[in-house]
């Protein structure tokens, strides 16, 4: 499938792989994770409470950076612990928000 075909197939937003790559870059930049460590994250990888780099201040920085890079707005009532519990939860939030922008 070509990029053009993929774009035509999913007009609601960027491809999942693009969102995933961008989210990993955000985690590297905000948390200072190495490229290898960010690449090892799976949907079940724990985030808040599992990554010492992800404290409450880093959560605020992470969400702000997601808003900037994905060109989205994340309202306070849209975020909950499930989104920050695992990488898959955070990825699902990014996918949902980019699909509705």
| CA 60 and chain centroid, separation | 13
> What contacts 58, CB < 8 A, 6 or more positions away?
30, 31
pTM for this model (two decimals): 0.84
pLDDT for the residue 14:
83
pLDDT for the residue 1:
40
| 101 and 94 Cβ atoms separated by less than 8 Å | no
Domains of the chain from N-terminus onward:
15-99 (1.10.1200.10)
pLDDT for the residue 101:
75
pLDDT for the residue 8:
39
For the segment 64-96, what is each residue's pLDDT rounded down to a tens digit?
999 999 999 999 999 999 999 999 999 999 999
Percent of the chain with pLDDT over 90: 83
């Amino acid at each position: 499938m070509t990029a053009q075909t993929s774009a035509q197939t999913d007009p609601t937003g960027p491809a999942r792989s693009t969102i995933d790559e961008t989210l990993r870059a955000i985690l590297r930049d905000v948390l200072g994770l190495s490229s290898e460590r960010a690449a090892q994250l799976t949907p079940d990888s724990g985030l808040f409470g599992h990554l010492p780099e992800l404290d409450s201040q880093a959560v605020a920085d992470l969400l702000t950076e997601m808003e900037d890079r994905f060109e989205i707005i994340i309202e306070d009532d849209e975020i909950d612990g499930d989104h920050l519990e695992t990488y898959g939860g955070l990825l699902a939030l990014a996918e949902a928000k980019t699909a509705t922008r």
